[in-house]
Amino acid sequence: MSAPLPGRVVCFGEMLLRLSPPAGRLLAQASTLDLCTGGAEANVAVSLARLGHATAMVTTLPDSAPGQIAVDALRMHGVDVGGVRRETGRMGLYFLTPGAVLRPSEIVYDRAGSSFACADPGSYDWKALLAGASWLHVSGISPAVGAAAAQAVSEAMRTARTLGVRVSFDGNYRASLWAARGEDGAGTLRALMAQADLAFANGRDFALLLGRPELAQAEREDEAVGAAFAAFPQLGHIAFTRRRELTVQQHELRACLRARDPSNHAAEAGPYQLHEIVDRIGTGDAFAAGILDGLLRGDGLDAIAGFGLAAAVTKHSIAGDFNLASREQIAMVAAGALSVRR
């Protein structure tokens, strides 16, 4: 195995187990459920490890068989688990009912009171956990889980800024989780976005954070990006995808990467026409990993956007939360190569 590429990436967030009925069946019809491991931040850690980067996962898992499944899944794909804490408690779960034809997929969370949600924010030694890191990757899902997790994310981001570690923040807005807490999360997410160097967010996200609902309109995308750069001076890059859904298994996907630097301001990639989609879950995380890979390697904006989108497209063909595609496989997708590998 070749040596890891320069730059260690630390990912922090909750890991979950996914339970799904077989394709074509509703949860109420299922006599068996498929199980896989995931979680937005863990998905990024695994993807980057597969691309040759040194990655580490920081989380709290139950000291139980489900928790061990998650730890083993990280180890299997080369992610450092030294920052994974084990406590008493329960594992967060989610139930995915795959969609078909014009029936959309459905996700039901069962994660309240998980070991991660209940973990003491003070139990994470962020100076030690971030030592030697070049990036910290977090998402808006963790603060939606509960106040303790929100505090932990905030402390991680502040410590990263102090140590000179760049911060990647995926907006990942989860309305149902915020609603369960009786709020929309705008104030909390706005404070976190102010700590980020790289944001995975679109006009709808910035409309919420800035209290400007008109920015959610597709035709005001450039205005939304400009408003975000003005409101969050730390931001250097904003990345997002545009998806058009024809049926559950037929989508069109594009990618956009915007830079604050006016001399190298914007890049777009796509579109890709996606048919017979295997699994949409984790595609945004695959995109995030592809963008981070390009920034770590010092590539140009066009190359970064193209590779990030190709990573997201490739994930649509892979079952489970993790994008297990290699760099070569993603490059083949980017090049449109459909021949059999020999």
Cβ pair 53, 27 in contact under 8 A? no
In terms of Cβ atoms closer than 10 Å to its own Cβ (0-12, 13-18, 19+), residue 335 is exposed
Domain count, the chain: 1
Q: Tell me how far apart the alpha carbons of residues 280 and 38 are, in angstroms, rounded to a whole number.
A: 13
Q: Interhelix angle for 221-231 vs 203-210, to 10°?
A: 50
For residue 110, being part of any structural domain is answered with yes
List, edge to edge, every strand of the sheet that includes 106-110. 34-38, 16-20, 92-97, 106-110
- Output 180 or 190, whichever has higher pLDDT: 190
338 band by pLDDT with thresholds 50, 70 and 90: low
Take residue 228 and report the two structure tokens written for it.
């975000």
CA distances from 274 to 154, 285, 287 (A): 37, 17, 15
pTM: 0.94
Q: Tell me how far apart the alpha carbons of residues 280 and 140 are, in angstroms, rounded to a whole number.
A: 19
In terms of Cβ atoms closer than 10 Å to its own Cβ (0-12, 13-18, 19+), residue 110 is middle
Give residue 1's pLDDT: 46
What is the DSSP code (8-state) at residue 145?
A: H
Q: Tell me how far apart the alpha carbons of residues 313 and 4 are, in angstroms, rounded to a whole number.
A: 24
Cβ pair 275, 31 in contact under 8 A? no
6 band by pLDDT with thresholds 50, 70 and 90: low
For residue 253, give the CATH number of its domain.
3.40.1190.20
For residue 338, being part of any structural domain is answered with no
Cβ pair 301, 267 in contact under 8 A? yes
Tell me the pLDDT tens digit for each residue of 185-226.
999 999 999 999 999 999 999 999 999 999 999 999 999 999
For residue 264, being part of any structural domain is answered with yes
For residue 340, being part of any structural domain is answered with no
340, pLDDT greater than 60: no
Give residue 228's pLDDT: 97
Q: Where are the beta strands (DSSP E) in 276-339?
A: none
Q: Helix (H, G, I), strand (E, B), or coil: what is residue 331?
A: helix
Tell me the pLDDT tens digit for each residue of 251-298.
999 999 999 986 668 999 999 999 999 999 999 999 999 999 999 999
For residue 79, being part of any structural domain is answered with yes
What is the residue range of 280's domain?
A: 5-332
In whole numbers, what is the pLDDT of the chain averaged over residues?
93
Q: Interhelix angle for 283-297 vs 40-50, to 10°?
A: 50
Tell me the pLDDT tens digit for each residue of 70-99.
999 999 999 999 999 999 999 999 999 988
Cβ pair 64, 91 in contact under 8 A? yes
102, pLDDT greater than 90: no
For residue 106, being part of any structural domain is answered with yes
For residue 250, being part of any structural domain is answered with yes
The residues annotated with a catalytic role in the active site are 285
Tell me the pLDDT tens digit for each residue of 23-71.
889 999 989 999 999 999 999 999 999 999 999 999 999 999 999 999 9
- Element of type H or E holding 312: helix 301-315
